[in-house]
Amino acid sequence: MTASSTPRDCATDLIIRAMHYAAMRHRDQTRKDGKTPYINHPIALAATLSNAGVREPSILAAAMLHDLIEDTATTDTDLRAEFGSEVADLVLEVTDTKFLSKPARKRLQRAKASRASEGAKLIKLADKICNLRDILARPPADWTPQRKQEYFDWAAKVVSGLRGTHPVLERKFDAVVRVVSA
């Protein structure tokens, strides 16, 4: 830290570096609708967390980076070297185990939810909120109404293990679910 730096400068730097890193790693990817740039998703997570009052720089940075290990060639070693153990550990905690089958990954996500750290729970809540919003606004072209409903039902089961973490985020999740139920 230089003489003119403040802790806030360091926090802002971490978040901006994470946003840039995620943008570079996701640069050739789109969301499942095939049109939306993938980077919109991690930015939406960080914005959802920030708008709900989450200010911890490591959580916001990890939210920006949360899908890198699953969806790019980025490794936990890369993240540790670039962002430190605190951020890398949060990303690892919310990363699916890709060598498992999809049903096994979904079961594991539900099982791990209640045992996750508070930071991982916040990221997972924001991820589910943003995924549901995306499915409503820009669904994958090949998803039937039944497939969308199955995702909503599964997301609700994951979030049931996250309850008690952050009332504002939980209300945001419930509001998105109510749109589908209406």
pLDDT value at residue 2: 44
Instruction: Please state the domain extents for the chain.
Output: 7-181
Architecture of domain 7-181: Orthogonal Bundle (1.10)
Evaluate if pTM is beyond 0.95: no
* 86 a catalytic residue: no
* Marked catalytic residue, from 33, 70, 89, 170: 70
Q: What is the pLDDT of residues 112-155, one digit of tens each?
A: 999 999 999 999 999 999 999 999 999 998 999 999 999 999 99
Closest CA to 87 of 61, 64, 125, 113: 61
* 134 a catalytic residue: no
Four-point Cα dihedral 45, 181, 115, 102, nearest 10:
-80
pLDDT value at residue 8: 56
14-19: average pLDDT: 97
* Marked catalytic residue, from 33, 56, 71, 170: 71
